[in-house]
């Protein structure tokens, strides 16, 4: 589509994560962190391969080409299959370079219609509940890791049926359930989540290692005498961060829990690794992992969620009305509160293709959601051409933490779900109706 055209379809755009409050790769910090580890070989051949993968057209670039959203029912999450595979190839390159195992965190992206593609590259899934564990077991079919702050008595036997790895948040939980694990008909690898008390995340609500965190056992509360039957350690302290954050975290983890690593068969480095973003330092990540594996003979797991679907999908919406209250306000048939809750939770302003900051282009609008919540506002934007009723907007980078977190507040329908296949055909895989809303209620 011509960028200057007066089309009803205003595509959504180059996302990146500039508007999200996320840390960037800081060369000085990377260098300082790298000095604390013995760097593995430079992997020159693999690095060149990674760069070739990264040069494949991204979803942002494809969106700037021909994409017909005219026939898409709105609102609709549209996920690009080729972009998902591009991310998977980057993740797989890390696995091949280091021997680590990467699993998909379902909390970030659980679109099971794409599991046949994802399981060609990743070793399994990471679940946080009974339902996620069952979904991973029934739809993915490889390793299923589960962690929860606490397990429910009534659900525990079902969890044992579905999982291959179970991580406990406390020794009290482990001691309560370990004999049921031992007596189960299949072997389940059990681990303890530890809290290295090292914060890298700047937003408190996303910091698992913040003061008084309920997530993981601190060194002070670690019970060495209760490790019989424990084969792994798990820590998680990142969120949308680069490899330098892991490089700073590992020495702290080893300083506090290193004496117990030798007796383990696996260590899980958790999630929050933004591996597929453009400026991510893959060489540093691979060096850190390779160095750790050289010193400890065990399996290493990473469980990113967002990295699988980063910049691989968008949310298509339509303008329903334009009103004026000291500025033009476009009411759209989607909602920040119901369909993209991180916009209000983080908060952040999602990118819209061909839209700029509020003073960048002549036609300025606030985009408002469909619910009655006064704060259901997506953000302020400007466009080169005026919006009108029926104009289509495409919000970028909407594949992760949207479908897994959306809701039916006000009875607003959930967006449809579609896949853009490699041949550019768009296939609707799920549409929602009144029954989906009604059946959630009593």
- Residue 16 has a pLDDT of 31
pLDDT tens-digit series, residues 354-403? 999 999 999 999 999 999 999 999 999 999 999 999 999 999 999 999 99
pLDDT tens-digit series, residues 22-75? 332 333 333 333 333 333 344 445 555 555 565 455 555 445 445 678 889 999
pLDDT tens-digit series, residues 399-415? 999 999 999 999 999 99
Q: Domains of the chain (ranges plus CATH)?
A: 9-16+312-438 (2.40.37.10), 27-55+99-309 (3.20.20.10)
pLDDT tens-digit series, residues 11-22? 333 333 333 333
Three-state SS annotation for the chain? CCCCCCCCEECCCCCCCCCCCCCCCCHHHHHHHHCCCCCCCCCHHHHHHHHHHHCCCCHHHHHCCCCCCCCCCCCEEEEEHHHHHHHHHHHHHHHHHHCCEEEEECCCCCCHHHHHHHCCCCCEEEECCHHHHHHHHHHHCCEEEEECCCCCHHHHHHHHHHCCEEEECCHHHHHHHHHHHHHCCCCCEEEEEECCCCCCCCCHHHCCCCCCCCCCECHHHCCHHHCCCCCEEECCCCCCECHHHHHHHHHHHHHHHHHHHCCCCEEECCCCECCCCCCCCHHHHHHHHHHHHHHCCCEEEECCCHHHHCCCEEEEEEEEEEEECCCEEEEECCCHHHHCCHHHHCCCCCCECCEECCCCCCEEEEEECCCCCCCCEEEEEEECCCCCCCCEEEEECCCCCCCCCCCCHHHCCCCEEEEECCCCCEEEEECCCHHHHHCCCC
pLDDT tens-digit series, residues 293-328? 999 999 999 999 999 999 999 999 999 999 999 999
Point out the least confidently predicted range of 29-38, 85-94, 126-135, 283-292.
29-38
């Amino acid at each position: 589509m011509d960028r200057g055209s007066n089309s009803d379809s205003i595509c959504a755009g180059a996302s990146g994560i500039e508007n999200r409050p996320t840390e960037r790769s800081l060369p000085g910090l990377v260098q300082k962190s790298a000095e604390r580890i013995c760097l593995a070989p430079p992997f020159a051949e693999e690095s060149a391969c990674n760069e070739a993968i990264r040069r494949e057209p991204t979803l942002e670039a494809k969106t700037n080409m021909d994409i017909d959203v005219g026939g898409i029912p709105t609102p609709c999450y549209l996920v690009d299959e080729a972009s998902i595979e591009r991310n998977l190839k980057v993740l797989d390159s890390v696995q091949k370079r280091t021997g680590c195992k990467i699993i998909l965190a379902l909390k970030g992206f659980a679109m099971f219609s794409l599991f046949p593609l994802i399981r060609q590259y990743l070793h399994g899934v990471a679940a946080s509940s009974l339902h996620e564990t069952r979904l991973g077991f029934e739809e993915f079919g490889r390793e299923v890791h589960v962690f929860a702050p606490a397990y429910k008595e009534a659900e525990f036997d079902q969890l044992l049926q579905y999982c291959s790895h179970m991580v406990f948040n406390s020794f009290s939980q482990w001691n309560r359930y370990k004999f049921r694990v031992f007596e189960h008909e299949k072997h389940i690898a059990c681990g303890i989540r530890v809290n290295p008390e090292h914060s890298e995340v700047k937003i408190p609500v996303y910091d698992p290692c913040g003061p008084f965190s309920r997530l993981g056992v601190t060194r002070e509360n670690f019970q060495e005498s209760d490790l019989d039957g424990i084969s792994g350690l798990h820590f998680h302290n990142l969120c949308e961060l680069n490899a330098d954050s892991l490089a700073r975290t590992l020495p702290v983890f080893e300083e506090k829990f290193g004496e117990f690593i030798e007796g383990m068969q696996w260590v899980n480095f958790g999630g929050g690794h933004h591996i597929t973003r453009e400026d991510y330092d893959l060489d540093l990540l691979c060096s850190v992992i390779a160095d750790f594996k050289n010193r400890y003979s065990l399996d290493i797991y990473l469980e990113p969620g967002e990295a699988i679907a980063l910049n691989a999908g968008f949310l298509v919406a339509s303008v329903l009305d334009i009103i004026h209250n000291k500025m033009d306000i476009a009411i759209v048939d989607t909602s920040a509160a119901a369909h993209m809750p991180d916009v209000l939770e983080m908060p952040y302003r999602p990118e819209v293709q061909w839209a700029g900051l509020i003073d960048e282009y002549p036609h300025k609008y606030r985009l408002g959601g469909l619910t009655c919540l006064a704060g259901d506002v997506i953000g302020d934007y400007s466009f080169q051409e005026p919006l009108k009723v029926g104009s289509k907007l495409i919000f970028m980078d909407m594949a992760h933490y949207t479908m897994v977190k959306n809701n039916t507040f006000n009875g607003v329908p959930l967006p449809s779900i579609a896949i853009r296949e490699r041949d550019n055909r768009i296939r609707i895989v799920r549409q929602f109706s009144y029954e989906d809303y009604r059946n959630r209620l009593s």
